[in-house]
Structure 1
C-alpha cells in the first residue's frame, strides 16, 4: 500500500527536444533523497500525452533502475484503448509496480463505457491499477464500485473536486468491498492538491499527489507534516503564503499546472527543459512571479524548521 507524499516527476527534454534520461535520473535521485512514498512516471506532470511508446518505456526503465526497489514505481497509461494497452504492457516489461489509468482520449464517456475501458486495460497487463476520475473520465458511485471489484484495480484517484460525489463514491466502494480483504486506496488528485487536503481528509481521503514535491520537496513535506499533525495554524500559513498564490498563478494560463512545475524545477538548478506543444512555457513575468512565490514557501519552511 502507498503512503506519504507521492512524487510525480517531470519528463526532462534536451535542447533538441528529445527525452533526457540522464537529467531524469538526476531529478529522480533528488526527489528520492527527500523520501516520497512512491514515484509516478509519465503521468500528468510527466507529460504522458506528449510521449511516444519508446520514450515512455525508456523513462520507466530508468525510474526502476534509479529507485532500485526503494519505493513503488507507477506509470501513467491511457488514451486510445489500443495504445493504452500498448503502454500498459510496456510498463510491465520495464518493471513498473503499477499503473495510473489516465482518461481515454477526448470523448465524453458514459460510466458503463469507462467500466468497459477499465476492464480491458486491467486485462492487458498483470499490474495493480489506480483509476483516475478527471476531465472526460467521470465515474459515478455505481461504476466506481464496479471497477473496484476488478481484481487488479486497487485505487481510485479523484481530480474533479466534487466532494459530494466523491463522498458517495467512497461509501459505494467500501460497501462493494465489504467483507473482502482486498486492499484499496483513495487519492486526492487535484492540481496543487495541498489546497484541498483538509477538505479531502474530511471524507476519509488522505493520500495525495504533490506537484510541489518535484521542485520543493522540503515545502511539500513540511506541509504534509503539518497536515498529519493537525496543525491548522501552520496549514493556513502555508496555504496563504505559498499554495494559494501558486494556484492563482497556475490558473492564469491553461497547462501551467505542468509548465510552471518544470519552470520551478529549473529555478532549483536542474535544466529539465521546457514543455512540448500544445503546452507552453511560462512567460518571463510569470517566471519572476513564480520565483517570488517559491521564495515565500522556502522562507516559511526554513522558519518552521528553525523552531
Structure 2
C-alpha cells in the first residue's frame, strides 16, 4: 500500500562521540507522532515515517547504525503508521539493507538511486527488479539524479508486484505530469492505485503544483523541526484555505528555501539546526555535509518565528488554540 498524505522524514541524531543517539531519535519520533492538527471532522498527522533516508543521512550510516535506527523507529511508532526504511548503494548492498529492514519489521522501503553508476531508464528498472526480487517489502522508488525514470519505465515498474510508487526528486513538473498521465491511462491493472510522491526539498513550495497533476503525497523535512507549521500548511492545502497557505509560503517556506539554496547540503544541515533550536539535541551532520553557520542559524530562527506568527494570527498554533478553549 502506498502511504498517502503528509510524510515524515526524521533526522538521525548523533551524540558528541559520533554514535547514533537512539534515545534522542525516539523522542524526535514521539514529538512528531504527538503532533495533531484538526482537519474537518478528523485530525491530521504524518501518515508514514521514512527513516534512514536522505534527511536521515542514509549515506553516512554504518549497517549496524541503520539496523538500530530502523528497529527503534518500528518500536516507537508501534503500528500507529507505516515505517519505511531507506535502502541504497549497489544492487547487492541495497538487497542487504532491504533484508535488515525486513528483519526489523519495517513496513516498506524507499529505494535510493544506485551508487554512482549511470544507466538508461530500462537499466534502472532492472536494478529495481533485482532488489525487489530479494524482499517481500513494498518499495517506493526514488526518481532522482542517476535513477532516470521515464513514462515507459514507470509503466514497466508497475509489473513488479512489490513496487508501489515513485518518489520524484527531479522537480520537472511537465515531465512528471506526463509520467503520471502515462501511468494512469496505461490500462495497467495497477494504474489507479500506483502511488506518486513529491520528494523535493522543502516540498511544500511545490505541493500545489504537484497536487494539480495528481500527486497529493509529499515529504516534509519541516516536520522534523516545526511540526506545527508543517501540519498547518498541509491542512490549509487540503481544505483549500488559500490565505493560510499563501501567508505561510511568504513568511516561512520561501525564505527557508532561499536560505537552503545558499549552501549545498543545507537541505539536511538546516533541518538539524532547526531541530536544535527547537530543543532537540540531534547533534551535527556527518561529512561531507557542512554545518549551518551561526549567521544562518540566527536567520533560520527568525524565519521559524515568522511562520509561527502566522499561526498565532490565525489561531492555528496548538498552544493558542488550547488556551482559548
SS at match of 1:78: strand
In the alignment, structure 1 residue 90 sits paired with structure 2 residue 90: no
1:66 to partner: Cα distance: 0.3
Deviates most, 102-111 or 37-46: 102-111
Deviations 1:221-259 (A, max 9, x none): 110011011222222111111000000000010000001
How big is the shift at 1:211? 0.4
Deviation track 1:141-174 (CA, whole Å, cap 9, x = no partner) reads 0011111221000011111111111111112222
| Secondary structure of the structure 2 residue equivalent to 1:103 | strand
What is the root-mean-square deviation of aligned Cα atoms in Å? 1.4
| Unmatched segments (≥5 aa) in structure 1 | none
Is 1:114 aligned to 2:115, yes or no?
no
C-alpha displacement of 1:299? 1.4
- Indicate which of 300, 303, 306 corresponds to 2:313: 303
User: Which of 51, 54, 63 is matched with 1:53 structurally?
Assistant: 63
> Which whole-Å CA distance do the structure 1 matches of 2:185 and 2:111 have between them?
23
Q: Is the 8 A contact 1:149 1:177 kept in 2?
A: no
Q: CA deviation at 1:3?
A: 2.6
Q: How does 1:115-154 map to 2 (within 5 A)?
A: 115-154=125-164
- CA deviations over 1:152-204 (Å, ceiling 9, x no partner): 00011111111111111112222345344873211100100000011101101
Separation in 1, partners of 2:46, 2:298: 28
Aligned mates of 2:228, 2:99 — CA distance in 1: 35
Gaps of at least 5 residues in structure 2 are: 36-44
- Any idea what SS the aligned residue of 1:263 has? helix
Provide TM-score, normalisation by structure 1: 0.97
What is the distance in 2 between the residues matched to 1:48 and 1:23?
A: 17
Larger helix percent: 1
Contact 1:188 1:208 (8 Å CA) reproduced? yes
For the 8 Å contact 1:242–1:297, the answer to whether it is kept is yes
Aligned partners of 1:79 and 1:105 also within 8 Å = yes
Q: TM-score, normalized by length of structure 2?
A: 0.92
2-structure distance, mates of 1:157, 1:250: 21
The answer (yes or no) to whether the contact 1:259–1:281 under 8 Å persists in 2 is: yes
Q: Is the 8 A contact 1:149 1:176 kept in 2?
A: no
